Structure 1
Amino acid sequence: MKSIVKLIKPVSLAVVAGVLIMACSQALQVSYDYDSSVNLKQFKTFKVEAEHNIDQDPLLGSELNRRRLGDAVVEVMQAKGYKMDTQNPEIIVRFMTDVKDRQQVRSNNMYSPYMWWYGGGNNVSTYNYQESRFILNIYQKNSDKMIWQGWASGRVKAPTKKDDRETMVKNTMADILRTFPEATQDTYSRK
């Protein structure tokens, strides 16, 4: 009986670890890049708009999703301490989305020392899927040069409810902007 209990523990830990790895592999991969010559902490005001002259995916880049993306970026930037200024912003946050067709190839090598007796071989399967990307480009207003870029890519499963869509978009924008610095507060108040 004790040997069965000793065997069950490692097997159950392996199953739990496998489930966690599979759950984490479905998440979006987030990354960023920035211009190191620009002090990102100097900015306090922003404006949000869709990226110009870019063909967007007809579903992911629809008017509904553009509004969701814009609203989510505004909410996340304001939570970081930035103030919305549509007339004279210091930075402009532009967003875009796209979808790419991807293919995953899996190989199950079934060779064994007894291959000549039992047969065997290499079983190859392919899996086609679509990879979505959410991209945020931040430009400095006075020079109109890109100073920061963040993106999330991976397989996006469409949520079933409206609230779930808005939550998913907001969480994705928060993940992308996680590394963008918070706005600094003025040390002297203006009277």
Structure 2
Amino acid sequence: MKNIMKLMKSAGVSVVAGVLIMACSQALQVSYDYDSSVNLKQFKTFKVESEHNMETDPLLGSELNRRRLGDAVVEVMESKGYKMDKQNPEIIVRFMTDVKDRQQVRSNNSYSPYMWWYGGGNNISTYNYQESRFILNIYQKNSDRMIWQGWASGKVKAPTKKDDRESMVKNTMSDILRTFPEATLDTYSRK
């Protein structure tokens, strides 16, 4: 009987944990684009800054979030083998965020064979929401031309704790940079 109770408790804890993980997951769509004429694997050093020409969103573009975004990009780039070089980087990673008001229109057709007699059956409803976008633009330093762009967009539910915010931003930046190639093995041989 004790074994059954322990098994039920552990199963219950697993189910609750799974539900919480699914509830906390973001519904962000991630995509990227790049300049196919540039060998992205040739770069070894980078620096991070906010995009120059952007309108700052009062919430996502706040000083706190700009710091979080910059720190997250640095951490992800270094985990991919790149070395931070503020003086003479080979690539510059610029980030920006924005929020757009969106509207979704839903139609619920409830026609039956007898609706022609009773009248219509099409219910239309609208749903207003805000879509957030996190955008990373990577520029080649010597030409200052964009060579790679990645973005995540969707509805973002604000986390409640500081650690949750930082991990959400880091996970988002990691998802965006997932397709950016890792640095070559000789990254740290340069001085």
- TM normalised by structure 1 equals 0.83
Question: Unpaired runs of 5+ in structure 1?
Answer: 1-18
After TM superposition, list the pairs within 5 Å mapping 1:117-156 onto structure 2.
119-156=119-156
Aligned mates of 1:36, 1:132 — CA distance in 2:
28
Amino acid at match of 2:87: Q
Counterpart of 2:56? 56
Aligned mates of 1:151, 1:116 — CA distance in 2:
48
Using the TM superposition, give the Cα deviation of residue 53 of structure 1 relative to its aligned residue in structure 2, in angstroms.
2.0
Aligned residues of 1:112 and 1:120 also touching (Cα < 8 A): no
How many residue pairs match? The answer is 170
Aligned mates of 2:138, 2:68 — CA distance in 1:
18
Counterpart of 1:15? none
* Cα distance change, pair 81–157 in 1 and its aligned pair in 2 (3 A): same
* Cα distance change, pair 187–126 in 1 and its aligned pair in 2 (3 A): closer
SS in structure 2 at match of 1:171: helix
SS in structure 1 at match of 2:56: coil
Aligned mates of 1:149, 1:128 — CA distance in 2:
28
1:162 lines up with 2:162 in the alignment = yes
SS in structure 2 at match of 1:112: coil
Percent of aligned positions with the same letter in both sequences?
92
Q: Deviations over 1:147-179 (max 9, x none)?
A: 000000000000111110000000000000000
Q: Deviations over 1:128-162 (max 9, x none)?
A: 00000000000000110000000000000001111
Counterpart of 2:113? 113
Task: Quote the RMSD (CA, aligned, Å).
Answer: 2.3
Aligned residues of 1:61 and 1:96 also touching (Cα < 8 A): yes
Question: Which stretches of structure 1, 4 residues or longer, exceed 6 Å deviation after superposition?
Answer: none
After TM superposition, list the pairs within 5 Å mapping 1:21-36 onto structure 2.
27-36=27-36
Aligned mates of 2:115, 2:170 — CA distance in 1:
53
Aligned mates of 1:28, 1:94 — CA distance in 2:
20
- TM normalised by structure 2 equals 0.83
Q: Which stretch of structure 1 is more off in the superposition, 117-126 or 33-42?
A: 117-126
Q: Deviations over 1:104-144 (max 9, x none)?
A: 00000011102145554100000000000000000000110
Question: Unpaired runs of 5+ in structure 2?
Answer: 1-18
Aligned mates of 2:74, 2:55 — CA distance in 1:
23
1:186 lines up with 2:186 in the alignment = yes
Using the TM superposition, give the Cα deviation of residue 187 of structure 1 relative to its aligned residue in structure 2, in angstroms.
9.0
